[in-house]
Amino acid sequence: MTPAPTKRTQIHRHPERGMDDPATIGSILDEALTCTVAWVDEQGRPRALPTIQARVGQTLYLHGSRAARAWKAAASGAEVCVVATIIDELVLARTSPHHSMNYRSVVVYGTAREVTDPAELRAAARAITRHVVPGREDDAIEPREADWRETLILGMPLTEASAKVRTGPPNDDPGDLDADVWAGTMPLRIVADPPRPAPDLKPGIAEPSYLRDFRRP
Amino acid sequence: MTPAPTKRTQIHRHPERGMDDPATIGSILDEALTCTVAWVDEQGRPRALPTIQARVGQTLYLHGSRAARAWKAAASGAEVCVVATIIDELVLARTSPHHSMNYRSVVVYGTAREVTDPAELRAAARAITRHVVPGREDDAIEPREADWRETLILGMPLTEASAKVRTGPPNDDPGDLDADVWAGTMPLRIVADPPRPAPDLKPGIAEPSYLRDFRRP
């Protein structure tokens, strides 16, 4: 299903960077470690906070705390806007206003629901663990009944979503190409340093291989 | 000046992670490459998008495009909420609900104004370039009059802001410490790969040393 382009998901600035195919939207949501969730509070004012997401098909799951006000509002049907951003390269142009980043970002609009079905809750919790470290979901102890008194998972459909992607070298004006200023891009990457065992880790437990395999993307 | 704790900046979930000192707030805003800006649209619905920020003392500058609707609303005095997040470590607990991240995040609330004073505009543009690559601001050609027809810079005071910081190992329940599951943290870091010169780079321009020095943090 291709998300319907709506007035909100239409890209006004640099429309050529807009991408609405579910594969692009999905891959960005999968790769970004975290996202930012925005909502409107009771006074009609903007609020936002960071959280962890996971995608299962065309559903986006968000991990929340029952103590946080955002999740109360969102779980009771308030509209939310979710933004995920990945920075791939810094773009250094000759002129400062042409500086940019090669990025991939997604904006999702919609109404979330609290996931309550036990099978969906279990699958969503596994997806959130897997989102951060693939393989970990088969290793970690699954949530118990009591855990859901503190934590909640929201689900929202990926029906109103858009991606924006910039790639390539800087776009300086032709008249600036002769300037004596270096121009180009600098690729960035997230790397993992060696894992640090918990001080209270039971002796004899080996470091899991999925930690060595971790890479983003 | 210490930002006044308001109802909105009070931390409800894990209040022990709350940090309101300007030094912590400033360092997070300085280190995070980008931020997410949220606002409320004309229909009263939440909207958000990613952008680049820079901090100068107790003022946060945001880089925007005149074509984007967010910036129109924000420049005309709408309230905004800015979130910046840095992920330092993945936190792997024995149980999946105790998984977490060691992160540093800032939320800023306020009303932005469009920067129009030429001296402040120049200083803010330099700060935004420097925010991304320190040293670059002395090298790139500064904005010209015509650039401000497409770009705008918003300024907002850091008076209503809070930081949230998690550090340390996983916090499993005592009864789970004997489980045969590895637990600990995995540090993450942003690294830069070798710069890629623009295809139209004028021959004979050396790669600037500030690119080799780039690190985050």
Model confidence pLDDT, tens digit, residues B26-83: 999 999 999 999 999 989 999 999 999 999 999 999 999 888 888 888 888 899 999 9
**B182 lies in some domain:** no
Place of tokens 């918003």: B154
Give the tens place of pLDDT for each residue, A148-166.
Answer: 999 999 999 999 999 999 9
Classify residue B168 as left (phi > 0), alpha (psi -120 to 50) or beta: left
Average pLDDT value for chain A: 92
Provide, rounded to the nearest whole percent, the portion of chain A with pLDDT above 90: 81
Residue A10: partners with Cβ closer than 8 Å, 6 or more residues away: A18, A162
Residue A140 to residue B79, Cβ atoms within 8 A = no
Residue B33 to residue A92, Cβ atoms within 8 A = no
**B95 lies in some domain:** no
Residue B87 to residue A34, Cβ atoms within 8 A = yes
Between CA B16 and CA B11 the distance in angstroms is 8
Q: Which site among B31, B104, B186 would you substitute to test the A interface, given the most A Cβ atoms closer than 10 Å to its Cβ?
A: B186
Range scoring the smallest mean pLDDT among A71-75, A114-118, B133-137: A71-75
Residue B64 belongs to domain with CATH number: 2.30.110.10
User: Residue B46: closest CA among chain A residues belongs to which residue?
Assistant: A39
Q: Looking at CA atoms only, how far is residue B31 from chain A in angstroms?
A: 14
Between CA B120 and CA B212 the distance in angstroms is 30
**A10 lies in some domain:** no
Between CA A190 and CA A182 the distance in angstroms is 25
**A9 lies in some domain:** no
A184 vs B33, B192, B198: nearest CB: B198
Whole-number pLDDT of residue B12: 63
Q: Looking at CA atoms only, how far is residue B191 from chain A in angstroms?
A: 5
Range of the domain at B33: 15-89+100-172
How buried is A182 (Cβ within 10 angstroms: 0-12 exposed, 13-18 middle, 19+ buried)?
buried
**B10 lies in some domain:** no
Whole-number pLDDT of residue A96: 96
Q: What is the ipTM of this complex?
A: 0.92
Q: Looking at CA atoms only, how far is residue A120 from chain B in angstroms?
A: 15
Residue A201 to residue B178, Cβ atoms within 8 A = no
Interface of B with A in 118-177 (CB under 8 A): 125-126, 128-129, 132-133, 136-137, 139-144, 147, 150-151, 169-170, 172, 176-177
Give the tens place of pLDDT for each residue, A174-192.
Answer: 999 999 999 999 999 999 9
**A170 lies in some domain:** yes
**B163 lies in some domain:** yes
**A74 lies in some domain:** yes
What's the structural domain count of chain A?
1
